[in-house]
Amino acid sequence: MAELVCFNPACRTRFAITEVVYNCPRCGALIEAAYDFAVEPAALKKCFRERRMSNAPLDQSGVWRYRELFPFLDDFSSVVTLREGNTPLLESRPAAEYGGLESVVFKHQGFNPTGSFKDNGMTCGVAQARRLGMRRVACVSTGNTSASMAAYAAAGGLEALIFLPHGNISFGKLAQALEYGARTLEVEANFDQILALVRALAERLGIYVLNSVNPFRIEGQKSIVFEMLDQRDWRAPDWIVLPGGNLGNTSAFGKALREAHEIGLIDRLPRLAVIQAEGAAPFFDFVEHGGEFHAVENPETLATAIRIGDPVSWPKALHEVRTTRGVVEKVSEQEIADAKAQIGRAGIGCEPASAATLAGIRKLTGRGVIDRAAEVVAVLTGNLLKDPDYIYRYHTGKLETPSGAPLRSTFANRPTVVPNDPERIAELLKK
């Protein structure tokens, strides 16, 4: 019923679902999970809804609640759940106005147990690792994958080995990896270079890789889309907007939408809009200009979560963007910073990479690509508290681009230092 298949349409080599394979040994392409779905959409929707009233751990998980849509396990004894998913849809009028829309809804993945969307995928990746009897799991990360993997490995009794680009991840994320007990190596190289290193080492040392080249991570991240559709009573929006880094999430969203459509859970495909940071936008360049895919050698952005120059999942992401008649946009550091402040002002808040969504929406409505009246769901990928240093700098006028150019604190909210004097404070607050 479930198997692994080479993603290359000219190859499509098949592997057992229990094989450890990230790239096709024949052609080198990525691998995906494939199923013969034998499900009835109306019954399934009812079942998903009823599970929200259940106290069973699997049903309480906003990932495993949708388990019929990624049936890669024979039984669920290997599952580790921290009740991931269950993230809200939040509407905001001011954010919609800023983005040039009549309305916008944020699917806020920052409400996850470790504060990012990675938990949706990690619960599946770790379940597969345990099912295979793996003892050690590893990843390279710009911070969120490592925080998530560290937590799920710890909860599941696995040893976690984490590789980070030294000096280029936010302190909050590094702190999570340490607190969850992961063995943490800070490598003096960038994300793309370390990913190659990890994959070579993993083969040598028999370590299970939990980056998004792992097809089971992608299976879990599909649940972000399933839960969003369930929350909308299975009414597909016009657009789903998300930030693009390594492009695993774009791949997962497209696969989820195609499968939901094939099964009959939705009657049309929303369009994907993938937003990259200007200094790390190889996928934008490729889709915009065509030709060969060229990696960005020295990617730079303050949105360190998406500081990736050579995204491994670009072939999958390209397929999903094309299938959904999607678009790819890029945004500047200034645009990200100001959009982020607007999301904060709306009482919602997110980390810098997530704010690329609203910045991208503003640009795409400005260009007339997204219609003002469109129904738009923007996915906020990480929690506000992931990167407080960035926030403090923005609001105190100290934020600079990676090359040292000052950024405008357009919506600054500076703290004021006051003496311990009620008269002076009262005077100040009268203004």
Q: Does 218 bind ligand F0G (CB under 6 A)?
A: no
Q: Does 190 bind ligand F0G (CB under 6 A)?
A: no
- Candidates 7, 42, 46, 43; CA nearest to 26 is 7
d(CA 359, CA 330): 9
Q: Does 100 bind ligand F0G (CB under 6 A)?
A: no
The one segment of 23-31, 141-149, 388-396, 408-416 that binds ligand F0G by CB under 6 A:
141-149
Among 145, 170, 342, 357, which residue interacts with ligand F0G (rule: CB under 6 A)? 145
Q: Give the footprint of ligand F0G on residues 316-355 (CB under 6 A).
A: 351, 353-354
Output the smallest distance, CB 427 to ligand F0G, in A.
Answer: 43
Q: Does 246 bind ligand F0G (CB under 6 A)?
A: yes
Output the smallest distance, CB 405 to ligand F0G, in A.
Answer: 23
Among 153, 305, 374, 377, which residue interacts with ligand F0G (rule: CB under 6 A)? 305
Among 220, 244, 270, 360, which residue interacts with ligand F0G (rule: CB under 6 A)? 244
Helices (H), strands (E): how many in the chain? 15, 13
DSSP assignment of 196-235 equals HHHHHHHHHHTPEE-STTSHHHHHHHHHHHHHHHHHTTT-
CB 225 within 8 A of CB 240: yes
Q: Does 275 bind ligand F0G (CB under 6 A)?
A: no
CB neighbour class for 36 (10 Å; exposed up to 12, middle 13-18, buried from 19): exposed
Q: Give the footprint of ligand F0G on residues 39-98 (CB under 6 A).
A: none
Q: Does 144 bind ligand F0G (CB under 6 A)?
A: yes
What's the sign of the alpha-carbon dihedral 22, 26, 27, 31?
negative
d(CA 150, CA 390): 24
Q: Closest CB to ligand F0G among 275 and 399?
A: 275
Cα dihedral value 191, 193, 196, 198, nearest 10: -60
CB 140 within 8 A of CB 308: no
Q: Does 245 bind ligand F0G (CB under 6 A)?
A: yes
The one segment of 12-20, 91-99, 138-146, 223-231 that binds ligand F0G by CB under 6 A:
138-146
Are β-strands 327-331 and 271-277 bridged in parallel, bridged antiparallel, or unpaired? Answer: parallel
Q: Does 357 bind ligand F0G (CB under 6 A)?
A: no
Q: Does 381 bind ligand F0G (CB under 6 A)?
A: yes
Q: Closest CB to ligand F0G among 128 and 141?
A: 141
d(CA 325, CA 423): 61
Which residues would be at the binding site for ligand F0G (CB under 6 A)? 116, 118, 141-145, 212, 243-250, 305-306, 351, 353-354, 381-382
